[in-house]
Amino acid sequence: MSVGQPTEDRGQQVYEALQRLTSDLRDRDLELGALLVETQDNRFWEGRAETWREFLASPEINITDTRARQLIRIHRTYVEQLGFTLDELRHVPRDTLDRLHPYVKDKTREIARAFLDRVDGLAQADVKAVCRELGGGEVVEPDRIAAAVVEYNQCVKRIKGRLTPEEMILVREHPEREPL
């Protein structure tokens, strides 16, 4: 064997380390989601930052708003609503849990368990294909929907002070019209 060539033993060690670290990351994501929910619900961020987003962006926390929403959504749906334990979810990648969210959020624990079993071990492309099948040909993208809602709410806040009450009624009654 020449210097620098990997051995089978080293390959196995690296593979096992990768498995352990990805498992640890999934554990951390689930625990982080639980802590973010508690922090948000109890407003523990107040006094540390002006806003929730500033708190998340602080150097000590350093989480994007999108990731925080994803982790919170996963915790609220799978743990709080459907009653899964963190141990039951540890083997499921965060992106899989989030991708299945629109399809399980209004279902029972048993149906959600069946969906999780169906995508167990699948690559994300295959999970997306299963979601397309569950959605009748369309795939719901949770973050795109959440971002659109946030953008819409920000837009509404900006124009609220500029439109008369009559104009606001027109906007609500005829959303297909061009803006005033």
Distances (CA, A) of 77 to 97, 125, 142, 156: 9, 23, 13, 28
- Of 22-26, 80-84, 146-150, highest mean pLDDT: 80-84
Distances (CA, A) of 170 to 72, 153, 158: 35, 17, 17
Single-letter amino acid code for the residue at 152: Y
Single-letter amino acid code for the residue at 148: A
pTM over 0.85: no
Q: Which residue has the higher pLDDT, 93 or 8?
A: 93
Q: Which residue has the higher pLDDT, 97 or 11?
A: 97
Q: Does residue 108 register a pLDDT over 70?
A: yes
Residue 112's pLDDT band, with cuts at 50, 70 and 90, is very high
Q: What percent of the chain has pLDDT over 70?
A: 68
CA distance 5 to 41: 53
**Average confidence score pLDDT of the chain:** 80
Give the pLDDT confidence score for residue 179 in this predicted structure. Answer: 46
Q: Does residue 77 register a pLDDT over 90?
A: yes
Q: What percent of the chain has pLDDT over 90?
A: 37
Q: Which of 1-5, 136-140, 158-162, 171-175 shows the lowest per-residue confidence on average (mean pLDDT)?
A: 1-5
Residue 84's pLDDT band, with cuts at 50, 70 and 90, is very high
Range list of β-strands (E), 5-135 = none
> What are the sequence ranges of the domains in the chain?
15-140, 141-180
- Residue 38 buriedness (CB in 10 A; 0-12 / 13-18 / 19+): exposed
Calculated CA dihedral for residues 52, 28, 13, 92, nearest 10 degrees: -110
Q: Which of 29-33, 75-79, 82-86, 161-165 shows the lowest per-residue confidence on average (mean pLDDT)?
A: 161-165
- Number of DSSP helices (H) and strands (E) in the chain, helices first: 9, 0
Report whether 58 contacts 49 (CB < 8 A). Answer: yes
CA 63 to chain centre: 12
Residue 150's pLDDT band, with cuts at 50, 70 and 90, is low
